[in-house]
Each structure stands twice: as structure tokens, then as C-alpha cells.
Amino acid sequence: MRTGQDSLRSKYRALTDGAATGVAILSTLLVIVPLIAIFIYLIIKGASSLSINFFTQIPKPVGEEGGGMANAIVGSAILLSIGSLIGIPIGIAGGIFLAEFGRGSKLANAIRFTADVLNGVPSIVMGIAIYSLIVIPAHNFSGYSGGVALGIMMIPTVCRTTEEMLLMVPHSVREAALALGVPNWRSVLSITLKTASPGVITGCMLAFARVAGETAPLIFTAFGNSNWTVNPNEAMAALPLQIYVYALSPYDEWHKLAWAGSLVLIVLIVAAVSLVRYVTSRGVLKGAS
């Protein structure tokens, strides 16, 4: 009697265990499926509409054959350069403060927390804040304002990863530098930061990849432009913006261009992320392989 109950119970437990395993595997598959579906669609639809024109021509009016996104690609490059010029130095400096000067202090904890929270602020909010800060006073949409919006979005990510990487640098390295009479600022920049550079670069690439696909902060700042421009004082096209506009248009040709643009964008981003992954797998500190 007793043994019967026991074996029933252990059977039930084994069954639950098996069911839980099955559910876990199933949910992992369900998570992977949309990813694979998105990639397959991007490759099939994107590759079939990709051509040389895409990279060399600017958008053409509806109905005309051809047309590309050369202006959007260049626009994205300019916007991202402005963004990186703002976001990366400030982010790295913030990270240096958190890791080298403020470690454990209340101020550093507050800044770290604020950076994490800023990371979660929706990009559209960033967009309208920059609109109100730069676009309204200047009375025109501009590449600069878009770049600033992207740069601000990069700061928290760069700052936090820099901090984490600097924390991994052993103290002996810093002390060796100081013992040789190297000034502190020099020691931080050429010794500590340099030792952590692969990791810091990784963080910058991640931040870059993240803002490269941002559309929401650009709608009201860079605004988009169907003409060729490299002047950041004018409204400027960007790849994600162009994809958004084309995807919502009713024209098939534009839909195709949107798919092609998405493929280009995702290839750039995945390349950046994979590079990061490759670099980090080889060690985040210089000399540690």
C-alpha cells in the first residue's frame, strides 16, 4: 500500500519534472522563432530589393523606377558621428569618475543610479526634449539637434560599461604607474584606461549600435530630408527615419526600399555586436588573452 503510494508519487514527480523541461524547451523555441523569422524575412525581402542604386541614388518621386537611400546612409553616418563625438567622451569621463574618483561615495552611487534610470527614459521623450531645447529656439530642424539627441542617449551606456571595465583593472597596475612618478591624470588615461580599452571600446560599440537604429528621437530633430545634404544645419535624412516613412507609405516600391534599408541597417548593427562579442571573448583587458 505504502510503496504503491510512494511509487505513484515519484511517478508524478518525474512527470512534473519532464513537463517542466518540455515547457522550458518550448518557450526557448518560441523566443527564438520570431528572431529567425525576422532575419529570414529581412534577408529574402531585403536582398531581393537591394541594388547598386540603393547606395548611390537619392530617393525618387513615387512612380519613377530606381532611387535609393544614399542621402539617408550619409545622413545616418553624420548624425552618428555627431552623437559619438558628444556621447563617447562624456560617457567615458563619467565612467572614469565613477570608477577612479568617486568609488563608494554617495555622489557616485547617485550618478550611477541616475545613469541607469536615464537609460530607461523613452527615446521619444528625449526627442521632444531636444526639440524644445534646440529646434524651437533655432526655428529649424537640423542634423545637429538629431546628433545631440543620439549623443545624450549614448552617455549612460558608455558611462556604465566604462566604469565596469575600469573596475576590472587590478590595483597593482595603477600603483606601479604612480610609483614611477606618473601624474595621476596620466596614469588614469594612459595606464588604467588603456588597459581596459578593449572593454571600453566594446561599450562604445554597443551604445553606437543601440542608437544607430533609433528613429523616435530623430522624427522631430533631424526630421528627414529627401534631398542630398551634408550640412548638419539643415534637416537631414537618416536610415531608420527613411525606413519608417517608407514602411507606412502605400507604395510597393517604397516598401521594397524599406526592406532593403532594414537589411543594411541590421547588417551594420549585427556586425558591430558580433565584433564586440568577438573582442570580449578574447578578454576585456589588454594583454589578457
Partner 1 sequence: MVTPNVSESPATQSTTEHEVLSPGAGGAQMQTVPVAEASAIRRFLLSRGNSAIADKGFHWLMVICALSIFGIVLLIAYELLQRSQLAWSKFGLGFFFSVFTDPDTHLPSYWDPVNGHFSALPFLYGTVLSSFLALLFAVPLVIGTAVFLTEMCPQRLRGPLAFLTELLAAIPSVIYGLWAVFVLVPILRENVNPILVKTLGWTTLFNDDNPTGLGYMSSGIILAVMILPIISSLTREVMSAVPGSQREAVLALGATRWEMIRMGVLRNARIGIVGAVILGLGRALGETMAVTMVIGNSTDLPVSLLKSHSLLANGSSMASVIANQFSEASDDLHLSALMEIGLALFVVTIIVNALARMLVWMVTRGTPAQRN
Site for partner 1 in 218-277 (CB under 8 A): 219-220, 223, 240, 243-244, 247-248, 255, 258-259, 262, 265-266, 269-270, 273, 277
Q: Interface with partner 1 includes 9 (CB under 8 A)?
A: no
Binds partner 1 (CB under 8 A): choice among 7, 8, 9, 14: 14
Q: In angstroms, give the least distance from the CB of 228 to partner 1.
A: 22
Which 163-192 positions form the footprint of partner 1 (CB under 8 A)?
167, 170-171, 174-175, 178-179, 181, 183-188
Q: In angstroms, give the least distance from the CB of 22 to partner 1.
A: 10
| SS3 state of residue 50 | coil
Q: Interface with partner 1 includes 122 (CB under 8 A)?
A: yes
Binds partner 1 (CB under 8 A): choice among 9, 56, 62, 113: 113
**What is d(CA 52, CA 54) in angstroms, rounded to the nearest whole number?**
5
Gyration radius of the chain over CA positions: 25
Which 80-109 positions form the footprint of partner 1 (CB under 8 A)?
89-90, 93-94, 96-98, 100-104, 107-108
- Residue 177: HSE in the Cβ half-sphere, 13 Å Cα cutoff: 19
The string of DSSP codes covering 121-154 is S-HHHHHHHHIIIIIHHHTS--HHHHHHHHHHHH
- Other C-beta atoms lying within 10 Å of the C-beta of residue 178: 14
Estimate the share of the chain in helix, then strand, then coil, as percent rounded to the nearest 5.
Answer: 75, 0, 25
Q: In angstroms, give the least distance from the CB of 125 to partner 1.
A: 5
Nearest to 141 by CA among 262, 244, 241, 68: 241
Q: Interface with partner 1 includes 47 (CB under 8 A)?
A: no
Q: In angstroms, give the least distance from the CB of 139 to partner 1.
A: 15
Residue 11 vs 230, nearer CB to partner 1: 11
Binds partner 1 (CB under 8 A): choice among 161, 195, 215, 225: 215
- The answer to whether 174 and 185 are in contact (CB under 8 A) is no
Binds partner 1 (CB under 8 A): choice among 26, 47, 138, 230: 26
- Other C-beta atoms lying within 10 Å of the C-beta of residue 77: 14
